[in-house]
Amino acid sequence: MLNQTVLALGKKRSTIREIFEFGNQRAKIVGRENVFDFSIGNPNVPAPNSVQQAICDIINTQNPATVHGYTSAQGTEDSRAAIAESLNARFGTDYSAKNLYLTVGAAASISICFKALTASPEDEFIVFAPYFPEYQVFIEHGSGAKCVLIPAQEQDFQINFEEFERKLSPHTKGVVINSPNNPSGVVYSDETVCRLSALLNKKAEEYGHPIYLISDEPYREIIYDGIEVPFIAPKYKNTLVCYSYSKSLSLPGERIGYVLVPNAVDNFEDVYAAVCGAGRVLGYVCAPALFQQVIARCAADTADLSIYEENRKLLFEGLTSMGYNCIKPEGAFYLFPQTLEADDYAFCERAKKYDLLLVPGADFGAPGHMRISYCVQTETVLRALPLFKKLAKEYGL
Ligand code: PLP
């Protein structure tokens, strides 16, 4: 007999992966260029030259026996110090190597945090819709805690504070936020962040234990119209930051990121040790050694993100002029319009007729929407717009 929970998880691919695979099958029939795959958040811009240069330089100048060797579990002192310095230069903070634990990307960072913080199956983590679907998997099956979902505030996709306050309880161990957000593209305003921080401080005091804020920030650098993304950690002391270079440096397959545990976190040393212990339990051993070194050199860089800005403009303006309803995204590379019928699965099925591959909002806890991942070639967007128009016509727009 196998573990039935993981067996079921392994047998059922996520909807996003399912659609992505469908696209691969369609590409064999109609040609890759005729499949408009907006399903997956796989960055399509190359990593910056500095990354290629760093890789070549490290490989050509260092001893091959050590370049690819194990590092200490939390990552090399040099890499962690370099990341801390780049954060300090940008946010005026005073982090050092001892605040960082390097991971194999944000997915690992988040699952490590849930595992580190869960003390009992009664513990609860609050997640705001629309959300990255894997949170629920990591919380319930990775840590054995409870995942408490807060419905979306659909008019702006900021936090639905009324529902949030109702669901906070003495069992609340942590709250997860993701801004810029996948799938809505929304950036939490300063007002939202301040209100969140004040409420968590009040409730932590009332319950007599810390409530941790897990800030999942892989899209921190992908922002538009000069908007500022508030850096959360200094605004709420019990924040653990989960970051990855998958999106900002276009390195999703290389699996490199970190957990930041600031000194201000209650019981800092124990929390940091629990993060290390969770990484150990989950079998991560250490982050990829070569990419630890690459990040040490490129932590402050980004890929050329301008293509996303162009795609956002074309899609947002194109779709809204056709009558689709959509909140203008301020970050990430997703658009999250309302579907033209209440049943988002039926709508996305119908879109497949045009080889438009969209993900139903219900998968992100916000039915009646579709996620359009626009980290694709601009040409794909331009050729897809008439198809969105044909689809809209089917609904009388
Ligand atoms: N968190 C969010 C909100 C994401 O959208 C993703 C990936 O798309 C991840 C975490 C996982 O990122 P990584 O590839 O760094 O594990």
How many whole angstroms from 107 Cα to the centroid of ligand 1?
6
Pocket residue to mutate for ligand 1, from 245, 247, 255, 308, most atoms within 8 A of Cβ: 247
Band (176; pLDDT cuts 50, 70, 90):
very high
**Ligand 1: nearest atom to the Cα of 257:** 15
For the domain 4-48+304-393, what is the CATH code?
3.90.1150.10
Mean pLDDT rounded to a whole number for the chain: 96
pLDDT of residue 15: 86
Domain edges within the chain: 4-48+304-393, 49-298
Instruction: Report the distance separating Cα 134 and Cα 110, nearest Å.
Output: 10
pLDDT, one tens digit per residue, over 40-70 is 889 989 999 999 999 999 999 999 888 999 9
Which residues, including other chains, have CB under 8 Å from residue 86's CB and lie 6 or more apart? 299, 300
pLDDT tens-digit series, residues 244-296:
999 999 999 999 999 999 999 999 999 999 999 999 999 999 999 999 999 99
Q: Is 368 helix (H, G, I), strand (E, B) or coil?
A: coil
What residue's CA is closest to ligand 1, atom 5? 182
The pLDDT of residue 60 is 97
The predicted-structure confidence for 88-98, as pLDDT tens digits, reads as follows 999 999 999 99
The reply to whether omega before 130 is within 30° of 0 (cis) is yes
Task: Output the pLDDT for position 17.
Answer: 83
Q: Which two tokens stand for residue 105?
A: 């990307």
Distance 218 CA to ligand 1 centre (A): 6
pTM: 0.96
Atom from ligand 1 closest to the CA of residue 178: 3
Q: What is the pLDDT of residue 210?
A: 98
Nearest protein CA to atom 2 of ligand 1, as residue: 132
pLDDT, position 74? 98
Q: What residues form DSSP beta bridges with 370? A: 360
Instruction: Say which residue, 356 or 66, is predicted with more confidence.
Output: 356
Which residue among 15, 132, 188, 282 has the greatest number of ligand 1 atoms within 8 angstroms of its CB, and so is best to mutate? 132
- Give mean pLDDT, residues 195-223: 98
Percentage of residues of the chain with pLDDT beyond 90: 95
The phi and psi torsions of 369 (rounded to 5 degrees) equal -130, 170
Give me the pLDDT at residue 18, please.
87
Within 6 A (CB) of ligand 1 lie 41, 105-107, 132, 178, 182, 216, 218, 244, 246, 252, 257
User: Quick one: fold of 49-298?
Assistant: Aspartate Aminotransferase; domain 2 (3.40.640)
pLDDT at 13 over 80: no
DSSP 192-220: HHHHHHHHHHHHHHHHTS--EEEEE-TTT
Contact 71, 287 (CB under 8 A): yes
Distance CA 386, CA 256 (A): 38
